[in-house]
């Protein structure tokens, strides 16, 4: 019977099977694979190589990078293949294992981003709170992995290999088989809430409060600098009556120099505050923009019983559901590249450590001076010197648990119940990002 069958994408062609779609998507996915894998592996290597980076907070960054690596290895190559060709080529065991590993990596990414946001919130907004200890960070990491595995188990358990060769369709398909549609949809909503809605809300809340606190501190410092400058300027005329003309010039020179330095410092603080705003907004907005489209498309597919919502002009050959799913998934996978950039590479300290790690002795003297500058400063209670030097952490992103795509089984009249229809569970694949935020002794962004 296998000899007389036809592959699915030839029986039911759609725009995602076109060469005009395959070539650009293959190119973009390949670039994301190379850049994401290289960036995150280098981040992990540099962090493990330099003890100064092995802080409590950076454990969450390592979790984020590890989840990005897992997604690069499993989601980037496999999901587009199953979206385009619809068949499952990886065997029965991997039909359960790969969705499980993908789901775990997605939730680890999401939970790590949430943990990073909360830790930053406590660090800046509630400085009197006892900081997280190394033991506490290890326990938190174990909890994150356990929760990720637990939430993913129902998805992996309900995956099943099906064979439609008797219907004239070649190949096998890895699809979800839930007992009821209610169970499937309930799980979909749980996944969407924990993968996207909860972390996005948490990040927005934490980073909004961080911005308000740091902005207030920056304004206080700028006001004090202005008051100091005015006081110094007002003191110059009174001093002029007490010195000769020659001594007056000698007195004014250091005063003017000091005022110039004050103005430069003022401009620096303004630039720092502006940079802080851009970074915090980027962390939240990027997470939302990259994962919201994928979650929306997945949710529509979940509830589209007739599978006609994405058919242009009602024509089956113009069904763009797979194409849209591929596009939004590709957009979400950009987080694997952006996360290490946003959370680590934009930090000048981390960049210098990358150079010294790769090129050895190059710039040793400069690196020793650079390490003396804290990345994050906490006023009360103070962290240890090592912890003040090593905060890399920052916000994060997500992906869809679905690794395989079931063809339009209703149209093949193979699966009769709505619980057997292919679904695309929205689960964020993130990535990510390490903390670019630095503080000087006044808790302002550098």
Q: Compute the distance between CA of residue 344 and CA of residue 194 in angstroms, rounded to an integer.
A: 25
Count CA atoms within 13 Å of residue 127 on its CB side: 14
Task: Identify whether 285 is part of a domain.
Answer: no
434: left (phi over 0), alpha (psi -120 to 50) or beta: beta
Task: Identify whether 366 is part of a domain.
Answer: yes
* Amino acid 368: pLDDT: 40
* Amino acid 145: pLDDT: 92
- The model's pLDDT over 332-391, given as tens digits with 9 standing for 90+, comes to 999 999 988 887 777 777 888 888 887 764 444 444 443 333 333 233 333 333 333 333
Count CA atoms within 13 Å of residue 444 on its CB side: 20
- Please answer whether residues 109 and 398 qualify as being in contact, where contact means their C-beta atoms are separated by less than 8 angstroms: yes
Contacts of 371 (CB under 8 A, 6+ apart): 52, 349, 389
Buried b (16+ CB within 10 A) or exposed e, 230-249: eeeeeeeeeeeeeeeeeeee
- Please answer whether residues 317 and 14 qualify as being in contact, where contact means their C-beta atoms are separated by less than 8 angstroms: yes
Which of 197 and 264 is assigned the larger pLDDT?
Answer: 197
The count of residues in the chain is: 446
Task: Identify whether 216 is part of a domain.
Answer: no
* Amino acid 358: pLDDT: 79
- The model's pLDDT over 102-151, given as tens digits with 9 standing for 90+, comes to 889 989 988 988 888 888 888 888 888 887 888 888 899 999 999 999 99
- The model's pLDDT over 425-437, given as tens digits with 9 standing for 90+, comes to 433 333 333 343 4
* Amino acid 287: pLDDT: 87
Q: Looking at the predicted structure, is the pLDDT value of residue 37 above 80?
A: yes
40-55: average pLDDT = 88
* Amino acid 44: pLDDT: 92
Task: Identify whether 284 is part of a domain.
Answer: no
3-state SS class at 363: coil
297-306: average pLDDT = 82
* Amino acid 148: pLDDT: 93
Q: Rounded mean pLDDT of the chain?
A: 74
* Amino acid 242: pLDDT: 52
Task: Identify whether 241 is part of a domain.
Answer: no
pLDDT band at 260 (very low <50, low <70, confident <90, very high): low
Structure tokens of 229? 């400058």
Facing residues of 429 across strands? 398
78: left (phi over 0), alpha (psi -120 to 50) or beta: alpha
- Please answer whether residues 38 and 106 qualify as being in contact, where contact means their C-beta atoms are separated by less than 8 angstroms: no
Strand 172-176 to 159-163 pairing: antiparallel
Check residue 362 and report its DSSP letter: T
Task: Identify whether 295 is part of a domain.
Answer: yes
Task: Identify whether 272 is part of a domain.
Answer: no
Q: Which domain holds residue 70?
A: 2-210+291-420
Instruction: Specify the number of domains making up the chain.
Output: 1
pLDDT band at 275 (very low <50, low <70, confident <90, very high): confident
3-state SS class at 176: strand
Task: Identify whether 439 is part of a domain.
Answer: no
* Amino acid 35: pLDDT: 95
Q: Compute the distance between CA of residue 116 and CA of residue 339 in angstroms, rounded to an integer.
A: 13
Which of 278 and 74 is assigned the larger pLDDT?
Answer: 74
Q: Looking at the predicted structure, is the pLDDT value of residue 406 above 60?
A: no
* Amino acid 317: pLDDT: 66
280-301: average pLDDT = 86
We report the CATH number of the domain holding residue 89 as: 1.20.1070.10
Name the percent of the chain lying above pLDDT 90: 19
Facing residues of 175 across strands? 160
Q: Looking at the predicted structure, is the pLDDT value of residue 2 above 90?
A: no
* Amino acid 425: pLDDT: 42
Backbone angles phi, psi at 161, to 5 degrees: -85, 130
3-state SS class at 173: strand
* Amino acid 66: pLDDT: 93
């Amino acid at each position: 019977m296998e000899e007389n069958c036809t592959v699915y994408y030839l029986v039911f062609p759609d725009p995602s099977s076109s060469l005009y779609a395959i070539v650009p998507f293959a190119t973009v996915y390949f670039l994301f694979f190379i850049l994401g894998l290289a960036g995150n592996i280098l981040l992990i290597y540099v962090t493990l190589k330099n003890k100064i980076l092995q802080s409590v907070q950076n454990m969450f960054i390592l979790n984020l990078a590890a989840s990005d690596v897992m997604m690069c290895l499993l989601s980037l190559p496999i999901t587009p293949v199953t979206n385009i060709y619809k068949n499952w080529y990886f065997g029965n065991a991997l039909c359960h294992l790969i969705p499980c590993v993908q789901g775990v990596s997605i939730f680890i990414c999401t939970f790590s981003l949430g943990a990073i946001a909360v830790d930053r919130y406590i660090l800046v907004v509630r400085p009197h709170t006892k900081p997280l200890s190394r033991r506490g960070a290890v326990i938190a990491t174990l909890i994150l992995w356990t929760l990720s595995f637990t939430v993913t188990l129902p998805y992996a358990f309900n995956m099943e290999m099906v064979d439609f060769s008797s219907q004239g369709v070649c190949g096998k398909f890895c699809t979800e088989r839930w007992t009821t549609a209610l169970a499937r949809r309930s799980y979909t909503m749980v996944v969407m809430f924990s993968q996207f809605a909860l972390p996005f809300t948490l990040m927005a809340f934490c980073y909004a409060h961080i911005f308000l606190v740091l902005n207030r501190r920056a304004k206080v410092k700028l006001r004090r600098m202005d008051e100091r400058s005015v006081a110094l300027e007002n003191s110059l005329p009174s001093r002029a009556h007490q010195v000769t003309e020659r001594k007056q010039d000698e007195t004014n020179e250091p005063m003017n120099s000091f005022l110039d330095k004050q103005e430069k410092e003022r401009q620096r603080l303004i630039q720092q505050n502006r940079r802080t705003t851009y970074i915090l907004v980027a962390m939240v907005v990027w997470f939302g923009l990259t994962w919201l489209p994928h979650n929306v498309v997945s949710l529509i597919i979940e509830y589209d019983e007739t599978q006609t919502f994405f058919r242009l002009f009602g024509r089956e050959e113009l069904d763009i559901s797979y194409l849209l799913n591929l596009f939004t998934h590709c957009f979400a996978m950009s987080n694997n590249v952006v996360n290490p950039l946003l959370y680590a590479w934009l930090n000048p300290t981390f960049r210098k450590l990358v150079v010294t790690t790769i090129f050895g002795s190059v710039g040793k003297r400069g690196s020793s001076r650079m390490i003396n500058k804290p990345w994050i400063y906490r006023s009360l209670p103070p962290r240890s010197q090592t912890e003040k030097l090593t905060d890399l952490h920052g916000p994060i992103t997500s992906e869809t648990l679905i690794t395989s795509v079931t063809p339009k089984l209703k149209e093949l009249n193979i699966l009769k119940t709505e619980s057997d229809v292919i679904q695309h569970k929205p689960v964020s694949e993130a990535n990510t990002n390490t903390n670019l935020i630095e503080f000087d002794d006044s808790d302002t962004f550098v």
